[in-house]
Amino acid sequence: MEDINNEENLEELEDNNLDVESIKKLIEDQKNELEEKDDRLKRLMAEFENYKKRSSKEREGLYNSLVGDIFSSLLPILDNLEKAAEVKTEDENYKQGVELVLKQFKDVLKQNGVEEIESVGKTFNPELHEAITSVTDENLGVQEIKEEYRKGYMIGDKVIRHSLVVVAN
């Protein structure tokens, strides 16, 4: 009788061992599957963050491009207002009116992120300046801008209009 009980116990142990082994394997499989899904989730989250950054950059670039296109068509008007403000006149009220309109125009440009490109006394940069002539001047350094014929403007990193300059040496 004892042998029969031992055989039953042995079979029961073998069945339990099979169950324990299958449970361990199942746990290991589920653990691997969970790690894969976790990794996939992390990748998707990173891709989504990159997408948001890229979209934001594209929107900003598009905005700057549109604003730049609009203001580039208005820059000749600004040039003429600056010339009008420089003209000597007997009528001080007229002169003040032109200067006020010029100031308002420049304020609107500044509010929309449009900035003048600094030129005179700076080193020539072909990305910002367009050289129309060069001169020799011993008082100035190499590639230093001596004169500005037309102001340049940019919005953010985008040049709306290059400065027309005279470069020394």
Residue 102 resides in a domain: no
Residue 156 resides in a domain: yes
pLDDT at 79 over 90: yes
pTM confidence score: 0.66
- Per-residue pLDDT reduced to its tens digit, 81-138: 999 999 998 999 999 999 999 999 999 999 999 999 999 999 999 999 999 999 988 8
**pLDDT at residue number 138:** 84
Count the domains in the chain. Answer: 1
Residue 40 resides in a domain: no
Q: Residue 34: which pLDDT band, with cuts at 50, 70 and 90?
A: very high
Residue 50 resides in a domain: no
Mean pLDDT value of segment 140-148: 90
**pLDDT at residue number 139:** 84
Can you give the CATH number for the domain in which 129 is found? 2.30.22.10
- Which residues form the domain of 141? 115-169
SS3 of the chain: the string is CHHHHHHHHHHHHHHHHHHHHHHHHHHHHHHHHHHHHHHHHHHHHHHHHHHHHHHHHHHHHHHHHHHHHHHHHHHHHHHHHHHHHHCCCCCHHHHHHHHHHHHHHHHHHHHCCEEEECCCCCECCCCCEEEEEEECCCCCCCCEEEEEEECEEEECCEEEECEEEEEEC
Residue 27 resides in a domain: no
pLDDT at 3 over 60: no
**pLDDT at residue number 160:** 94
Residue 80 resides in a domain: no
Residue 57 resides in a domain: no
pLDDT at 48 over 60: yes
Residue 69 resides in a domain: no
Average pLDDT, the chain: 89
pLDDT at 159 over 90: yes
Percent of the chain with pLDDT over 90: 69
